[in-house]
Amino acid sequence: MTEAPASLLMLNKPKGCVVTRSDEKGRKTVYALLPEWALAEGWVPAGRLDLDSKGLLLFSKGGHDVDALTRPGRLAKTYEVWVRGKVTEEHISKALKGVQTPEGLCRAQSVELLGGAGHKTRLRVTLVEGKNRHIRRLFGALKDPKFGTPLKVLELKRVSIGALALDVPSGKWRFLTPEETSRLLA
């Protein structure tokens, strides 16, 4: 029995790459990090990471897989985040309940305080739905207790989708195993 060809791959997207086939502004795209056949064979991203974000990005050859992977509420996505400002327990409570932003309500499924350095806070944030720039908008709607200014996300890295953890270096990719693919699509 011949094993089916891989239908999903993971890329560790570096900051500064655009998630698109080509960019009218001439910026580097994620396809510059993949073999030429990825574009030629129609591999497409299952979701997005903005220009300033990095981390786990999945690609699929099938539209059905993309739909399954991007359906809101289906798979938790976890991020490591550096925020300028002191994130307090009150901020975390608000983030879990939901914060109104000009683009709508943003909330996190979980927020874990990992530490900090100076006037920066390191967090692990999990979402089950992801709107455009969700984490940036969520924390930007909260005020720094010391200065009264909005908190600002300085660095955002997606480290897992469902049970799949990012395990390749920045700018590198690999195919998912049949077992990993089955767990994600089950």
Kindly report, residue by residue over 137-151, the tens digit of the pLDDT.
Answer: 999 999 988 888 999
Percent of the chain with pLDDT over 90: 76
Residue that wins the pLDDT comparison between 47 and 123: 123
Predicted structure pTM score = 0.93
Strand-strand pairing, 173-175 and 8-13? antiparallel
pLDDT-derived band at 129 (thresholds 50, 70, 90) equals confident
Q: For residue range 30-43, what is the model confidence (pLDDT) as tens digits?
A: 999 999 999 999 99
Q: What is the rounded CA–CA span in Å between residue 5 and residue 96?
A: 40
- The string of DSSP letters for 68-122 reads HHHSTTTS-EEEEEEEES---HHHHHHHHH-EEETTEEE--SEEEEEEEETTEEE
Average pLDDT of the chain, as a whole number: 92
- What's the pLDDT score for residue 167? 98
* Domains of the chain from N-terminus onward: 8-72+166-179 (3.30.70.580), 77-161 (3.30.2350.10)
Question: For 40-59, what is the mean pLDDT?
Answer: 94
Quote the pLDDT of residue 1. Answer: 34
The single residue of 23, 50, 67, 144 carrying the catalytic annotation is 50
Q: Respond yes or no: is residue 23 known to be catalytic.
A: no
CB neighbours of 24 closer than 8 A, spacing ≥ 6?
Answer: none
- Are 19 and 29 within 8 A, CB to CB? yes
Query: Which residue matches tokens 């030429």?
Result: 36
Tokens at 138, concatenated: 């969520």
Q: How confident is the model at residue 186 (pLDDT cuts 50, 70, 90)?
A: confident
